[in-house]
Structure 1
Amino acid sequence: MIRALAHEWRLVLVALQYFTRLPVPALQHFDARWLSQSVRYFPLAGLVVGLASALVLLAASALLPWPVAALLALATSLWMTGAFHEDGLADTFDALGGHVPRERALAIMRDSRIGSYGAVALVLSLALRWQVLVALQPDEAVVYLVCAHPLARAMAAALMASLPYVRLDDDAKAKPVAQPMTVGLAAVTLVIGLAPALVVAGVYPSWIFALACGTAAAAAVHGLSRAWFHRRLGGYTGDALGCAEQFGEIVFGLALLAALRYAG
């Protein structure tokens, strides 16, 4: 039992090491299989990012105007992840924004340069998430950050259970973890990603409607992303997973905001 718990903790550290810049204890006798096994804890890495962003938001708002505090919270998430998912969003839109064959799209994804489609997508993603934070009240913004980050990562990771990995020799983002994901593992990942929202809804029943709307929106964009990647790429890449994560954050926030305003 103790050995099993120690292994699970090791997988949590692997997920944090993979998805964030946080310093974690050195892992002795590293096994590459731990990367694929740590997929279920990717939402926990998102929760850490969301909590840190929320703390920065609240601390900064005590001294600075709310829009500035919101921008600092967004910058915190970018710094903690090294803009990992934003890079995937930009690369995916550069590749799939135009009507190019699959082989050409995959080649564009490997190009480190950013094009017009990627630049526009990146600006719109940052602007939308910033404006969602600005439009929310402090307690609402905290709930958004704490719930959206883990859920968006869980939805993105779940794509690995329903799509094949498009194997690229130099696709460093997903190749270490791109092992076939079972339906059971995908379900566990989704439960972990949903856990913060379920806790908030359990403690504060008034949040149930808004959180249900945000979750439904994230689930819908998950389905649309899956169809898009399947049609254009025949599967997923690391960039595609990053793009799906960004979609999840955006639509969860927009749906949450709309639901709160409607209910209010």
Structure 2
Amino acid sequence: MRETRRAVQAAFAFLTTFPVPSETLTAEDFARAARWFPLVGLVLGGMLGGLAWLFAPHVPALLGSALVLTVWIAATGALHHDGFADCADALLAPVPPERRLEILRDTHVGAFALVAVPLTLLLAWSALAVLWASPMLPRVLVAAPFCGRLVMLWAQFHWRYARPQGMGRLVAPRATDRVWVVGWALALVLLGPTVALVGAAACLWGHWLAGRMAARLGGGLTGDTYGALNVLVETAVLVGAALVLA
């Protein structure tokens, strides 16, 4: 039980800006954290869904959507968007895989990132605005971060890490995590058939994307790609739900 508590603590410390004590956490705690990533998504989504539920009757759709999105990014410290920006520059560049890994390490922001990040934020904001009056919005807001982090766990388990070192090596999924992926995926049904189907479709698309990313990086993934997958799957859930529920 103590190991589980510390692994959950490590997952929240790693993926959020929540005030979680992390000074005493060890490398082994972080190695066990990956299987709890979807739980982080559920908690974050529950917070966002509750916020939208409170705001919806009193705040205009455009402003309310922007506020929810701001809290969303602040709660993660823009960690995933930072990885997405790096991936946009590296994976879209017409260069060999080894050069892409070098670009991922570059702290400068290139043209692909300058376009890709605002576009995903615009898509997310627009989808939230479309869904603002829908009673299903809180469920969608639970599904999006949950599915994003489920795909992160799935990708970490399915593909090797592309570097000998890196932030992504802090977490190390194990063979038994296959069961955790299936178990967490089944939890989608609790959000209702429509949201569950949208979430499942986004997860499958994210898994396909992970394969494409791995191919462009020479067969493996990095911490930046995990963040990018999270952003893209979250955005896919929001846009898919907006198209289906609007």
TM-score by shorter chain over 0.5: yes
Residue-by-residue CA offset, 1:209-256 (whole Å, 9 max, x unaligned): 342133123212312322332243320000001111111111122222
Alignment check: 8 A CA contact 1:148 1:252 kept: yes
Alignment check: 8 A CA contact 1:222 1:248 kept: no
- For 1:204, the equivalent position in structure 2 comes to none
- For 1:181, the equivalent position in structure 2 comes to 174
Secondary structure (helix, strand or coil) at the match of 1:245 reads helix
Structure 2 alignment gaps of length 5 or more: none
Rate the CA distance shift 1:35–1:138 in 2: closer, same or farther, 3 A. Answer: same
- For 1:76, the equivalent position in structure 2 comes to 71
2:224 to 216, 223, 239: 239
Q: Distance in 1 between matches of 2:217 and 2:21?
A: 40
Secondary structure (helix, strand or coil) at the match of 1:175 reads helix
State the 1:190 CA deviation.
4.6
Higher relative contact order (CA 8 A, sep 6+): 2
- For 1:97, the equivalent position in structure 2 comes to 92
Alignment check: 8 A CA contact 2:84 2:224 kept: yes
List aligned pairs for 1:1-264, cutoff 5 A.
5-25=1-21, 28=24, 30-136=25-131, 137-167=133-163, 169=165, 171-172=166-167, 174-177=168-171, 179=172, 181-182=174-175, 184-192=176-184, 194-195=186-187, 197-201=188-192, 208-261=193-246
Secondary structure (helix, strand or coil) at the match of 2:163 reads coil
Q: Considering only aligned residues, what root-mean-square deviation do their CA atoms show, in Å?
A: 1.9
Moved more, 249-258 or 78-87: 249-258
- Identity score, percent: 29
Secondary structure (helix, strand or coil) at the match of 1:233 reads coil
- For 1:205, the equivalent position in structure 2 comes to none
Q: Distance in 2 between matches of 1:251 and 1:82?
A: 21
State the 1:168 CA deviation.
5.1
Alignment check: 8 A CA contact 1:16 1:22 kept: yes
State the 1:193 CA deviation.
5.2
